[in-house]
């Protein structure tokens, strides 16, 4: 079996993958404006790289074409008829990896809708659709402790520097809240990460942010922005909310990892003020940004910390334009920019 490596998000992309929104229960009472937010995301990304868009059916495709046209998007975008249950391709689509020769493969994890929703049969087939569209080889990783069973993972739970280090959370994989791979322990996960992603060191954080529907995805709290540089979503105010306790714990874990690796630098990123809808706390976080060729798109929340977060990320990634995307409506779906995108790296 070839040895695979998981490239950093800032490595050169061939494309970004999206799926056009159509499932109203994901944004109860708010689906109307969501495709227009997607059109703005596509408009920004298409200036820097190709955008591949999955459309649930002919009507969704027609609506997508109309909304892209209204945003002046006519080039560098391709539409594909592929039915989906939801549109969070960070989790339902494969993770793109390199083999030893630098060729791109699809690491197609099993998908079970975060062990929360019953309707995911179409999302579970997204990997096959992308294989058909791209012609790229597709792998179906098995559990290291139970080779007859496929490994259930989601892309929002794994974050890499492209040099063999991975960030994950215990809440996502080891807590009692989620049942993705029953019986798998920390050592088994680390074996899987080594085998399928080329990971040499896994840093285990504690919990994700408050309101995270996935129960602990790392892409709402901690992200690499360069080799050895991690931004951590950090709630400074102990009176504010539960995120402060989680932030302190995750900072401690990163500092311990940094003590063993002097090259590790940790930069704090603020949280916006709490965003709620109908009394539900939503996972509003600037850490859910997405890095593409020449640009970083960052969720914003009409908050005074928007500018602080944008400026911090611009300083850390000076070779890219940093563009804010209004995400107050988008986060009602319990995810924002990183959750809905999936990068296709260029061959190495």
Instruction: Tell me which residues are annotated as active site.
Output: 339
Distance from C-alpha of 20 to C-alpha of 23, rounded to nearest angstrom: 9
Distance from C-alpha of 39 to C-alpha of 18, rounded to nearest angstrom: 11
Radius of gyration of the chain (CA): 19
Q: Which residues pair with 81 in a beta bridge?
A: 55
Strand 201-205 with 165-169, pairing? parallel
Q: In angstroms, what CA-CA distances link 67 with 1, 19, 20, 115, 191?
A: 44, 14, 11, 33, 44
Q: What is the largest CA-CA distance in the chain?
A: 54
* Residue 13 contacts residue 290 (beta carbons within 8 Å): no
Q: In angstroms, what CA-CA distances link 143 with 96, 148, 186?
A: 19, 8, 13
DSSP conformation letters of 144-203: TTEEEEEPB--GGG-EE-SSSEEEEEHHHHTSSS--SSTT--HHHHHHHHHHHH--SEEE
Distance from C-alpha of 250 to C-alpha of 38, rounded to nearest angstrom: 32
């Amino acid at each position: 079996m070839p040895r695979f490596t998981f490239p950093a998000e800032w490595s050169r992309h061939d494309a970004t993958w999206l799926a056009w929104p159509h499932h109203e229960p994901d944004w109860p009472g708010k689906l109307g404006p969501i495709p227009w937010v997607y059109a703005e995301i596509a408009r920004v990304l298409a200036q820097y790289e190709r955008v591949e868009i999955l459309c649930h059916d002919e009507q969704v495709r027609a609506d997508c074409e109309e909304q892209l046209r209204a945003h002046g998007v006519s080039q560098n975008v391709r539409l594909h008829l592929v039915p989906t249950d939801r549109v969070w391709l960070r989790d339902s689509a494969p993770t793109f990896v390199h083999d030893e020769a630098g060729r791109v493969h699809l690491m197609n994890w099993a998908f079970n809708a975060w062990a929360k929703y019953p309707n995911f049969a179409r999302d579970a087939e997204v990997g096959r659709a992308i294989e058909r569209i791209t012609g790229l080889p597709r792998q179906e990783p098995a559990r290291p402790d139970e080779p007859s069973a496929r490994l259930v993972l989601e892309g929002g739970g794994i974050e890499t520097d492209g040099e063999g280090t991975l960030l994950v959370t215990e809440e996502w994989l080891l807590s009692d809240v989620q049942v993705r791979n029953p019986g798998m322990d920390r050592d088994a996960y680390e074996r899987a990460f080594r085998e399928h992603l080329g990971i040499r060191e896994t840093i285990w954080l504690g919990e994700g942010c408050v309101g995270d529907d996935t129960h602990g995805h790392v892409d709402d709290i901690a992200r690499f922005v360069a080799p050895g540089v991690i931004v951590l979503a950090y709630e400074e105010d102990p009176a504010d909310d539960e995120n402060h306790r989680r932030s302190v714990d995750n900072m401690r874990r990163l500092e311990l990892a940094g003590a063993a690796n002097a090259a590790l630098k940790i930069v704090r990123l603020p949280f916006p003020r709490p965003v709620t809808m109908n009394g539900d706390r939503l996972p509003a976080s600037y850490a859910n940004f997405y890095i593409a060729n020449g640009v970083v798109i960052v969720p914003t929340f009409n908050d005074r910390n928007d500018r602080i977060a944008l400026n911090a990320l611009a300083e850390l990634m000076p070779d890219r334009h940093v563009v804010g995307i209004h995400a107050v409506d988008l986060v009602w779906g319990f995810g924002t920019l990183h959750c809905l995108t999936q990068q296709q790296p260029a061959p190495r």
